Structure 1
Amino acid sequence: MSGVGPVEPGEGTRAREAAPLPRTARRALPARTLRRHRRPLIGVFATAAVLAGGGYLWATRPVPVPPAAPPFPSQVTRLAYLEPQAGAPESDVRRFTFGVEIQVDSGPPVTVTRISQPYAGVSVISAPRAPFRTKAGSPRKIMITLRVTDCGNVPRNAGLPFLDVTLRNTRAIQDHSFILGPRYARDLSQALQVACGNDFR
């Protein structure tokens, strides 16, 4: 024999093949492995199930809705003209006292921190004095006294007079102008005529 090739079996000989494992042996090997590692595997699967369930619950949890912000004070506050105060002293013709009712429709209490009016020649005093508070559903009567201090800076006829009121609640502080209507305009114009009648001529 010469050459460099692989050794070939001789006559009447055969390469021996490895005998396959019996069926029971093939099954027994993984079963033994599973028995040996059963507890750690159960722990791993249980941990994975808990983590997956917890992740699902966290991802699908209801998002809490934030509470609605309270309304702005000017949106829920009303001011209504009542009537002039009768029986003012004749000697004090430069004063005009009248009542208004303040009402808060809803939300937290509203505090009135300031009351003023647009005419430079007229001062304002309120009873109760600002600041004062009004709760929703509890209307409050306020007496307001306007005093003419300079007839040169008041109008002859108050066409659309208003009161400037500063309102505060837990949401905001706002300056708001309340127009009190034609009865207030008429009564104020009459009071200004009485207070400054000679100066208007």
Structure 2
Amino acid sequence: MSGVGPVEPGEGTRAGDDDPDPGPTHPRGRLARLYGPHRRMFLTTTTVAALLAGGGYLYATRPQKPPPPPPPPPPYPSQVVDISYLDAEPAPPNAPPRSFGLSVVLSVQSGPPVTVTRIAQPYAGLSVTSSPRPPFRTKAGSARKIDIAMHVTECGKVPENAGLPFLDVTLRNTRAIEPHSYILGSRYAHDLSAALHVACGNRSR
């Protein structure tokens, strides 16, 4: 009877084996067990780093709120200082002959404190001192009376009638140092002319 029966495994083989010699498997399995967790850990760390980097990029590219503008600079001292004439005053005690006194008031409207560093006048034959003596400081919102003592040093170098006299004052604040001339009005001109006339009545030189 002819026919094909079931194939019998040959010598040295086992039924169901495709690869007759798969080779040792134990070492390869051990490496796989060791490499697998490290590979998973590496991937996890890399993923976290990538997420952090992506978050930093998004933060960096997000529009930032602009910083507030800097505050404006303080005003120049001459813009906030006013000097007004008060009245004629007696000559200070122990003043030399041909001396007389006048008083003014200085007020600071706003801004940082203002320091008066110098008080002068334009006539070469007239010297000026004041109380308080410069330098002195006045705060914003306050006023200070200044007593000015004038002494005629040479009558030939002062006018007989001061038509439009002014007071030279040097002011300083955190913004600038400014020399400024203040015209104190007709009453100041009248009193100054009268005092000069008394001091130099005979125009002695």
TM-score of the two chains, using structure 2 as the length reference: 0.72
Structure 1 position 125 matched with structure 2 position 142? no
SS at match of 2:201: helix
SS at match of 1:103: strand
Structure 1 position 192 matched with structure 2 position 196? yes
Mark the structure with the bigger radius of gyration. Answer: 2
The answer to whether the 8 Å contact 2:91/2:100 transfers is: no
Give the letter aligned to residue 178 of structure 2. Q
Structure 1 position 47 matched with structure 2 position 57? no
Distance apart, 1:106 and its partner CA: 0.7
Q: Which residue of 2 aligns with 1:167?
A: 171
CA distance in 2, matches of 1:70, 1:94: 42
SS at match of 2:75: coil
Match of 1:146 among 147, 150, 157: 150
Q: Which residue of 1 aligns with 2:19?
A: none
SS at match of 2:192: helix
The answer to whether the 8 Å contact 1:84/1:187 transfers is: yes
Distance apart, 1:121 and its partner CA: 0.2
CA distance in 2, matches of 1:169, 1:77: 11
Structure 1 position 79 matched with structure 2 position 122? no
Distance apart, 1:50 and its partner CA: 2.6
Q: 1:88 to 1:144 in 2, by over 3 A?
A: closer
SS at match of 1:136: coil
Structure 1 position 183 matched with structure 2 position 179? no
Superimposed CA distance per residue, residues 18-65 of structure 1 (whole angstroms, 9 cap, x where no aligned partner): xxxxxxxxxxxxxxxxxx7964346424421332223324xx222232
SS at match of 2:68: coil
In the alignment of these two chains, the number of paired residues is 163
Superimposed CA distance per residue, residues 88-147 of structure 1 (whole angstroms, 9 cap, x where no aligned partner): 89x966222011101111111111111000000000010111111111112110100111
Structure 1 position 116 matched with structure 2 position 120? yes
Q: 1:139 to 1:196 in 2, by over 3 A?
A: same
Give the letter aligned to residue 134 of structure 1. T
Q: Which residue of 2 aligns with 1:107?
A: 111
Q: 1:157 to 1:168 in 2, by over 3 A?
A: same
Alignment gaps of 5+ in structure 2: 1-39
CA distance in 2, matches of 1:87, 1:42: 88
CA distance in 1, matches of 2:160, 2:91: 24
Q: 1:185 to 1:68 in 2, by over 3 A?
A: same
SS at match of 1:44: helix
Give the letter aligned to residue 199 of structure 1. R
Question: 1:14-33, aligned counterparts within 5 Å?
Answer: none
The answer to whether the 8 Å contact 1:110/1:135 transfers is: yes
The answer to whether the 8 Å contact 1:96/1:188 transfers is: no
